Amino acid sequence: MNRLTVPAPFAGQASTLSRPPALNTGGPSLLNVQDVSVIRGRQSILSGVTLEVPQGQSVGILGANGAGKTTLLRCCAGLESVSSGTVRLGGHTGSNGDTLTRTRVGMVFQQHQLVRAYSALTNVIHGRLGLAEGWRCCWHVTAPAHLRAKAMACLEQVGMAGKAMRPVADLSGGEAQRVAIARALMRDPELLLADEPTASLDPTARLDVIRLLTSLTRQSPACLLVSIHDEHLALATMDRIVGLKGGRVVLDALAAEVTLEEIQSLYAAVPQDEPC
């Protein structure tokens, strides 16, 4: 078996990372995905996915395009309904568009999806839209004082407090993604979801963003699910790796125990008759 010694391109940086021992997956789970299937039309997107994630754990979801990574994250966020099975967050069963689920989930998107014309501060305050103070959170000028202070604290957590009033359009890709993470933190999430948050970033920014996400997860009572394509980065930073292929979980192990071959096999061609 090919044991992974921190592979390129993050060999240099990753050697300085202190990856904590993975949390016991057998402990009380915060996120409980039980036998979830998603069928759209005649196509099976997810098939019998089961996943339990305890508090504080960072899980890297790997798989080829169309493997079902984004759908799984959207189901966890309550943005997509499941055809069968259940998604439970802290004991509460979510459903499509469920407000209670949405309020407990923070989501970071592939292309940050921030409002470019607005400042970083306003974008972070947008994280409270859909909650009680929703209306006043369209703009930082109208937001309540305690939320402005909270948004600044979130920006401080991601190292962007100094650029709070800069329009997002003036920020680099990595900085914008940090603001997007701060926006997700504004919701005090129990579950932090990130859908390929490093896809449009250079290697240094990728490592920064993923390291930020994992360190924030360890500091908070939340768990993290990241869909990611970079196997080196995932192995260097995540506690646990879940591999999807054709909508099924084919790999679920602590990152320290996963081999490169196992991950590469996730990207091997899926036979035509298999759903993907």
Partner 1 sequence: MLTQAPGESPLVVPPRFSSEFVSRLLLAAAIVIVLVSDAASMGVSPQRLLESLPKLLRFLAGMFPPDFSHWPMILRATWTTLRIALLGAAVGLAVSSGLAVLASRSQSPSAWVCRAVRSLLSAIRTIPELIWAILFVIAVGLGPLAGILAITFDTLGFAGRFFADALDDAPQAPQEALRSFGASRLQVLFGAVLPEALPALIGIALHSLERAIRASVILGVVGAGGIGIELMVAIKLFEYQRSLAIIISILVVVMDVETVSSLLRRHVQRTVAGRHAVS
Binding site for partner 1 (CB under 8 A): 77, 79, 99, 102-103, 107, 109, 111, 113-118, 126-127, 129-131, 134-135, 137-139, 167-173, 176, 187
Minimum CB distance to partner 1 smaller for 164 or for 234:
164
249, 50 Cβ separation under 8 angstroms: yes
Which residue reads 């966890």 in tokens? 76
Q: Give the C-alpha distances (Å, rounded to integers) separating 213 from 36, 156, 241, 271.
A: 26, 14, 15, 34
Q: What's at 183, amino acid-wise?
A: R
Minimum CB distance to partner 1 smaller for 10 or for 109:
109
- Of the chain, the end-to-end C-alpha distance in Å amounts to 28
Minimum CB distance to partner 1 smaller for 104 or for 240:
104
Give helix 145-157 / helix 173-185 axis angle, nearest 10°.
130
Minimum CB distance to partner 1 smaller for 10 or for 118:
118
DSSP strand pairing (92-93 vs 29-40): unpaired
CB of 5 to partner 1, least distance (A): 37
Minimum CB distance to partner 1 smaller for 74 or for 232:
74
44, 247 Cβ separation under 8 angstroms: yes
CB of 6 to partner 1, least distance (A): 32
CB of 181 to partner 1, least distance (A): 13
CB of 206 to partner 1, least distance (A): 17
Bridge partner list, 167: 119
d(C-alpha 230, C-alpha 87), whole Å: 26
Which residue reads 């360890």 in tokens? 218
CB of 114 to partner 1, least distance (A): 6
CB of 191 to partner 1, least distance (A): 13
Residue 65 CB-half CA count within 13 A = 1
Minimum CB distance to partner 1 smaller for 20 or for 130:
130
> Which tokens go with 225?
């699910």
